[in-house]
Amino acid sequence: MVKRKTADFNSFICFDFETTGLAQNSRVIEIGAVKVRDGYLVSRYSSLVDPGIAIEPVITRITGINDEMVAGKPKVEELIPSFYAYTEGLPLVAHNAPFDCRFLERDALAAGYRFDHDVFDTLSFARRILPGLASYRLADLTAYLGIRHDQAHRAWCDAEAAARLYMFLKAKQEKNAPG
């Protein structure tokens, strides 16, 4: 995947993964994404995922997702083809994109797919456009900016909030651009 440095696009896929933990060997337990076309949210992709391992108790407390909820759901390798099709080659956007991309690249390769999409990180974008804030966590940014964020730490909700954050920051950048 290619890291994109400029916010010069209005159509994209914003995605988020929830995982069994934060370690490298953690597994995906939820995939969430929204498709934005010309600045409008047009669709949502969401699925719980059976990770094949236990979810850490702290993750269950944070996300509300437990082992029973994911038991019998598709494995991530089964979902990669439909998620790949959903992305349509559009740029990918995520909050703290390196975290989510680490899992996407690993699991896509295991399923025989390669995501060569451009990737844009709203975390570094927020740090650039809104310097000096106490926190750049997605929940804190959305609260600070008054952006709707219904269920923090649920993948599709975080993806939608990050998409709205991207559009807010892009508009702020364009408003403050010289010219």
pLDDT in tens, 53-110: 999 999 999 999 999 999 999 999 999 999 999 999 899 999 999 999 999 999 999 9
Confidence at 155, pLDDT banded by 50, 70, 90:
very high
**CATH code of the domain occupying 2-173:** 3.30.420.10
118-121 β-sheet, strand order: 2-3, 118-121, 92-94, 12-19, 28-37, 40-48
Confidence at 2, pLDDT banded by 50, 70, 90:
confident
Q: What whole-number percentage of the chain has pLDDT above 90?
A: 92
pLDDT at site 3: 87
pLDDT at site 177: 77
Confidence at 5, pLDDT banded by 50, 70, 90:
confident
Look at strands 118-121 and 2-3 and give their pairing: parallel
Confidence at 179, pLDDT banded by 50, 70, 90:
low
**pLDDT exceeds cutoff 80 at 1:** no
pLDDT at site 178: 75
Q: Which residue among the candidates 95, 117, 149, 153 is catalytic per the annotation?
A: 153
> What Å distances lie between residue 90 and 9, 85, 174, CA to CA?
10, 10, 21
Confidence at 143, pLDDT banded by 50, 70, 90:
very high
Confidence at 4, pLDDT banded by 50, 70, 90:
confident
Task: Confirm whether 95 is a catalytic residue.
Answer: no
60-67 long-range contacts, Cβ below 8 Å, gap at least 24? 62/153, 63/18, 63/29, 63/30, 63/153, 63/154, 64/151, 64/153, 64/154, 65/18, 65/29, 65/30, 65/154
